[in-house]
A and B are shown apart, each in its own frame.
Chain A
Amino acid sequence: MSQTEEDKLLNQVTGKSYEFGFTTDIESETIAPGLNEGVIREISSKKNEPEWMLEWRLNAFKIWSEMEEPEWAHLEYPKPDLQAISYYSAPKKKKELKSLDEVDPELRKTMEKLGISLEEQKRLSGVAVDFVMDSVSVATSFKDKLAELGVIFCSLSEAVQEHPELVKKYIGTVVPQRDNYYAALNSAVFTDGSFCYIPKGVRCPMELSTYFRINEAGTGQFERTLLVADEGSYVSYLEGCTAPQRDENQLHAAVVEIISLDDAEVKYSTVQNWYPGDEEGKGGVYNFVTKRGICHKRSKISWTQVETGSAVTWKYPSCILKGDDSIGEFFSVAVTNNMQQADTGTKMIHLGKRSRSTIISKGISAGKSQNSYRGLVKINPGATNARNFSVCDSLLMSSTCGAHTYPYIEANNPTAKIEHEATTSKIGEDQIFYCQQRGIEEEEAIGLIVKGYAKEVLNKLPMEFAVEAQKLLTISLEGSVG
């Protein structure tokens, strides 16, 4: 690697608070709180966006202005004051710490338990990193290799500048601006996110992960991801991080769109561990995400998620099975503890003939939390011989928590075959005692039992994620049996 390249990358790593490229005084880059057309014009102009992008945002804003915040979810929370948010620069305004000693000891303890390296601990908790040679070289070699194959993997802002034809063609095609309140808001004000394009017939040789896009880590509040897998391609994409992240942004309203063209396969894995708030639920993140993919002929989208964080989660990664013989999958483990609330699940919309979907959802509730599965399986009239198989299990760790299942099934074609299984069980004191009697300590016993319960889903995660996700489950539930 040449000296200048190295310097450039190093700058990206160490200067990540200034990520958006305006390296002047950060305060001056913050737009006054509030949301109106002027603010959207300002965001767009600061990002130097083409006219069509601005028009798209303004259209979304117009739609959003006429919408109302949804209330159908099984969630209770004070509505965020959207006029009190500053829609620009806030995401990166993290205080830089001088050393790990300044980091919240609780947070460090968790990271150590997760086995996260010291260097990464620093990066994740916002400590100034002096020199992370390893990560830099890894990131570089990754980028070279991907470029060789024609894979585009960059920030969405960069893609708007460098690949406008692709962005213009696909953005909003799976999650339209008017889809829902938070998707409309995101469409109007999204700050950044990831863009990924896999060319025809290319099998992406590595797991694509935001982790390696160091300069883009933690893109903030209104993230938008657009992933296009061209015909016959394959990609496995990892989102998020198992390390706990504290963030001063209370509201996160992200959008993820996946386009899986004929014969393509996309595997999208998420481990979400945003700050859930304290034991009373104060200060936690609201995570209102719209994730959806569209499958063309014989293509496949597989969502795998492990959700342990956020105070309030509202999230339904979905598949539109448009093409004949397309396949949609959803594997989820959602853990709620203390005062956390999660309303999560999926939608499988069958349009294509012989389209198939599988849903495996495992909810784990502890403390006084509320955990809901909400899923829709819809078979349209044209979807001859469509099949769905769903399993929704709930595990209760305490007598004060709640688990709810809301399965919606709409079958409009007589050849459809739909199976739904659901169970609710309470983690047994008998099971824990049995483990203890064999010499396994209580915490480890709970870990074993919960991992066993979630095994079907954990097995779907890529290796890198699986180990940390298992540890995360154990940590999230420490001391929670009651």
Chain B
Amino acid sequence: MLKIKNLHAQVGDTKILNGLNLEVGPGEVHAIMGPNGSGKSTLASVLSGREAYEVTEGSVDFDGVDVLDMDASDRAREGLFLAFQYPVEIPGVSNMNFMKAAINGKRAHSGLDPIKGTDFLQKVKECASLVELDGRLRDRSVNEGFSGGEKKRNEIFQMAMLEPKLAVLDETDSGLDIDALRVVSQGVNAMRSDERSFIVITHYQRLLDHIVPDYVHVLSEGQIVKSGGKELALELEEKGYDWI
């Protein structure tokens, strides 16, 4: 599914990723943990193709294609989804129009006609119920005036709508209360399947109680310094990062 080899990346002159290696197989859930400034969010940005990040070395193979040459929208259309740590507000653009443009962009990429209105609405209904997103939020402008929890639920709603092959969740648990955390996690768990993989970036063990990972990696100074099973997260919680 995803093979990252010796990835080096920087913003301006600041080197952030220093030879990162990671392989994610189909259906697997990988958690990436690490202290502030270790490069977790940079990894999410580089994978999704944010322009400010320059890749200086290495390769990222996504389902047989080298995504580093692709722009962000093409990567998304190939099935790579990023749930943002800070979802962006787009005033005046309704959530529904936004989703329709996204779905039709993806469909056009696969040579399909635009989605039918009735199919679209059906899908919206299903996905919205997954994260308990009520009609009021669906019809509003993208993320405008949403609370932190509503924004994160909207991210998972969009993920469900777009059915990605690989979803990167960038600190999706930040700013969530316990109820919202439960709802968001339920949504993610419902999306788990043998074909869909997840990279879950988080600071805290508590998210991994809800979304149980197959593997846990520790990122430090732009490299993965330790990998293990889900028990590694518990160990980290107890001992902190200094222990590594």
When C-beta atoms are compared, the residue in chain A nearest to B159 turns out to be A438
The answer to the question of A455 belonging to the interface, with a C-beta cut-off of 8 Å to chain B, is: yes
The answer to the question of B109 belonging to the interface, with a C-beta cut-off of 8 Å to chain A, is: yes
The answer to the question of A54 belonging to the interface, with a C-beta cut-off of 8 Å to chain B, is: no
When C-beta atoms are compared, the residue in chain A nearest to B71 turns out to be A436
* A residues less than 8 Å from B97 (CB atoms): 448
Q: Which of B31-39, B81-89, B177-185 contacts A (4 or more CB under 8 A)?
A: B81-89
CA of A40 to CA of B205 in the docked complex: distance in angstroms?
86
When C-beta atoms are compared, the residue in chain A nearest to B45 turns out to be A433
Is A448's CB under 8 angstroms from B76's CB?
no
Interface size of B as a range: 20 to 34
Q: Which of B71, B92, B105, B162 has the most CB of A within 10 A?
A: B92
* B residues less than 8 Å from A433 (CB atoms): 50-51, 72, 88
Is A439's CB under 8 angstroms from B76's CB?
yes
- Least CB distance from B45 to A in Å reads 9
When C-beta atoms are compared, the residue in chain A nearest to B82 turns out to be A437
CA of A192 to CA of B49 in the docked complex: distance in angstroms?
56
The answer to the question of B73 belonging to the interface, with a C-beta cut-off of 8 Å to chain A, is: yes
Is B73's CB under 8 angstroms from A441's CB?
yes
* A residues less than 8 Å from B109 (CB atoms): 439
CA of A74 to CA of B130 in the docked complex: distance in angstroms?
54
CA of A440 to CA of B71 in the docked complex: distance in angstroms?
11
Interface string of B199-227 (1 = CB under 8 A from A): 00000000000000000000000000000
CA of A444 to CA of B81 in the docked complex: distance in angstroms?
19
* B residues less than 8 Å from A438 (CB atoms): 76, 98-99, 101-102, 105, 158, 162
A428-450 contacts to B (CB < 8 Å): 428-431, 433-442, 444-445, 448-449
- Least CB distance from A443 to B in Å reads 10
* B residues less than 8 Å from A430 (CB atoms): 88
The answer to the question of A56 belonging to the interface, with a C-beta cut-off of 8 Å to chain B, is: no
* B residues less than 8 Å from A442 (CB atoms): 71, 73
- Least CB distance from B3 to A in Å reads 21
- Least CB distance from B100 to A in Å reads 10
Residue from B88, B90, B93, B102 in contact with A439 in the complex, judged by beta carbons closer than 8 Å: B102
Is B162's CB under 8 angstroms from A454's CB?
no
- Least CB distance from B231 to A in Å reads 33
The answer to the question of A453 belonging to the interface, with a C-beta cut-off of 8 Å to chain B, is: yes
The answer to the question of A70 belonging to the interface, with a C-beta cut-off of 8 Å to chain B, is: no
Is B92's CB under 8 angstroms from A453's CB?
yes
* A residues less than 8 Å from B98 (CB atoms): 435, 438, 440, 448
Is B105's CB under 8 angstroms from A444's CB?
yes
* B residues less than 8 Å from A455 (CB atoms): 92
The answer to the question of B42 belonging to the interface, with a C-beta cut-off of 8 Å to chain A, is: no
CA of A165 to CA of B82 in the docked complex: distance in angstroms?
69
The answer to the question of B172 belonging to the interface, with a C-beta cut-off of 8 Å to chain A, is: no
* A residues less than 8 Å from B106 (CB atoms): 439
The answer to the question of A200 belonging to the interface, with a C-beta cut-off of 8 Å to chain B, is: no
**Contact A452-B101, Cβ < 8 Å, known A438-B162, A439-B109:** no
When C-beta atoms are compared, the residue in chain B nearest to A450 turns out to be B92
Is A436's CB under 8 angstroms from B72's CB?
yes
* A residues less than 8 Å from B51 (CB atoms): 429, 433
When C-beta atoms are compared, the residue in chain A nearest to B164 turns out to be A439
**Contact A431-B92, Cβ < 8 Å, known A439-B162, A452-B141:** no
The answer to the question of B228 belonging to the interface, with a C-beta cut-off of 8 Å to chain A, is: no
Is B105's CB under 8 angstroms from A454's CB?
no
- Least CB distance from A63 to B in Å reads 45
When C-beta atoms are compared, the residue in chain B nearest to A459 turns out to be B92
* B residues less than 8 Å from A451 (CB atoms): 92-93
- Least CB distance from A439 to B in Å reads 4
Residue from A436, A441, A449 in contact with B49 in the complex, judged by beta carbons closer than 8 Å: A436
B89-138 contacts to A (CB < 8 Å): 89-93, 97-99, 101-103, 105-106, 109
The answer to the question of B197 belonging to the interface, with a C-beta cut-off of 8 Å to chain A, is: no
* B residues less than 8 Å from A440 (CB atoms): 73, 98, 101-102, 105
- Least CB distance from B64 to A in Å reads 19
Is A439's CB under 8 angstroms from B77's CB?
yes
- Least CB distance from A91 to B in Å reads 39
Is A434's CB under 8 angstroms from B84's CB?
yes
- Least CB distance from A220 to B in Å reads 37
- Least CB distance from B193 to A in Å reads 20
Residue from A429, A436, A444, A456 in contact with B76 in the complex, judged by beta carbons closer than 8 Å: A436
* B residues less than 8 Å from A431 (CB atoms): 88-90
B56-86 contacts to A (CB < 8 Å): 71-73, 76-77, 81-82, 84
- Least CB distance from B48 to A in Å reads 5
A414-437 contacts to B (CB < 8 Å): 428-431, 433-437
Is A437's CB under 8 angstroms from B92's CB?
no
- Least CB distance from B95 to A in Å reads 11
* B residues less than 8 Å from A448 (CB atoms): 90, 93, 97-98, 101
**Contact A449-B90, Cβ < 8 Å, known A437-B82, A438-B102, A440-B105:** yes
- Least CB distance from B168 to A in Å reads 10
CA of A148 to CA of B92 in the docked complex: distance in angstroms?
42
* A residues less than 8 Å from B101 (CB atoms): 435, 438, 440, 444, 448
Is A439's CB under 8 angstroms from B141's CB?
no
Interface string of A440-481 (1 = CB under 8 A from B): 111011001101111110000000000000000000000000
CA of A440 to CA of B52 in the docked complex: distance in angstroms?
19
11 A-B interface contacts by CB (under 8 A): A429-B51, A434-B84, A436-B73, A438-B76, A438-B101, A439-B73, A439-B77, A439-B106, A442-B71, A442-B73, A449-B90
Residues of B near any A CB (own CB < 8 A) = 48-52, 71-73, 76-77, 81-82, 84, 87-93, 97-99, 101-103, 105-106, 109, 141, 158, 162
A-B contact sample (19 more), CB < 8 A, given A441-B73, A448-B90: A428-B88, A433-B88, A434-B88, A435-B73, A436-B71, A437-B81, A438-B158, A439-B103, A439-B106, A439-B109, A439-B162, A440-B98, A440-B101, A440-B105, A444-B105, A445-B73, A448-B98, A452-B90, A454-B92
